[in-house]
Amino acid sequence: MNYEQILSIAISTAHEAGAVIRRAFPRTALSHVGFKGEVNPVTETDTASEAIIVSRLREFFPDHRILAEESGGDDYRRSGPPIWVIDPLDGTNNFAHGFPLLCVSIAMVEDGRPVVGVVHDPLHGETFAATAGGGAFLDGQPMHVSPVETLDRAFLATGFPYDRRTAADNNVARLDRLVRHSLGVRRGGAAALDLAYVAAGRFDGFWEIRLAPWDVAAGILLVREAGGRATDFDGEPDCLSGEQIVASNGHIHEQILQHIRQGGAQ
Ligand code: IPD
Ligand code: CA
Ligand code: CA
């Protein structure tokens, strides 16, 4: 099977999972929300969405490996067959509050590199998809990053990690710096969708810390295939861990990195 054929299975799988989320939205009462940590919510819908994705992918790709947020799995850094990296519901906090910004993120990673990726937003009916070397598409139409060239005209996105109440570095110092030097900074609450929006040219750049591979795997591919750049804070392309990520249209990448270097945690 080539990447395009694999992508079409990933897309229909994301649509199936998205339908489950759409049916549950916005009726999931906060009282039905569990917590994995102090501020890290999980709902029955996260689990239901993941079960569909995992079973569908196992059916089509019985030899592949899986790393999924709620049920875990293999280490994407270990060599072996392709590994599917899955966030069944990115934006659970939004979901649990009826705030309509969330997505399903599915990527296939080969040799530590995302090669097939889909981010599907079931509430707005948008599907962002890409294959390595095959370009990036929004609902089947080619998509490209924005042409904005300077940070002072850039519309950015970020987020704050789940250990933000206690960690010495909770990303607020970087926000303080970048909010002063850009046109605006949004905290949408769904990192995979933030990355998809960079790829679609809606955001010019995005940075975050302590994300997980399932938050970024598909989005990294979308951004790169749409003509942008995704790196860690040193500008290195290996950012699949999600530990540090900057994604942008490319033009403003060094400017963001420079501010991050000068304005990290104090
Ligand atoms: C979260 C969202 C959020 C980011 C968090 C993620 P979840 O994912 O992507 O934007 O700031 O760090 O964990 O828990 O809703 O899948
Ligand atoms: Ca997530
Ligand atoms: Ca999730």
Do 151 and 181 touch, CB atoms closer than 8 A? yes
How many CB atoms within 10 Å of residue 154? 24
The residue ranges of every structural domain in the chain are 3-142, 151-262
Query: Which residue from 119, 89, 246 is spatially nearest to 193, judged by alpha carbons?
Result: 119
In a 3-state reduction of DSSP, which class is residue 16?
helix
Using alpha carbons, select from 219, 212, 218, 252 the residue that is nearest to residue 235. 252
- Residue whose entry in the numeric block shows the structure tokens 């939004």: 94
Q: What is the mean pLDDT of residues 229-238?
A: 98
Per-residue confidence band for 266, with pLDDT thresholds at 50, 70 and 90: very low
- pLDDT tens string 106-142: 999 999 999 999 999 999 999 999 999 999 999 999 9
Pocket test for ligand 1, best of 47, 53, 164, 211 (most atoms within 8 A of CB): 211
- Sorted by sequence, the CB contacts under 8 Å of residue 210 that are 6+ apart come out as 161, 162, 163, 167, 242, 243
Which atom of ligand 1 is closest in space to residue 41's alpha carbon? 14
Which atom of ligand 1 lies nearest, measured to the CA of 91?
15
Domain at 3-142, CATH from 3.30.1060.10, 3.30.540.10, 3.20.20.70, 3.90.226.10? 3.30.540.10
Q: What values do phi and psi take at 34, rounded to 5?
A: -95, 170
Q: Is the CB of 87 under 6 A from ligand 1?
A: yes
pLDDT band for position 27 (cuts 50, 70, 90)? confident
CATH class of this structure's domain 151-262 = alpha beta
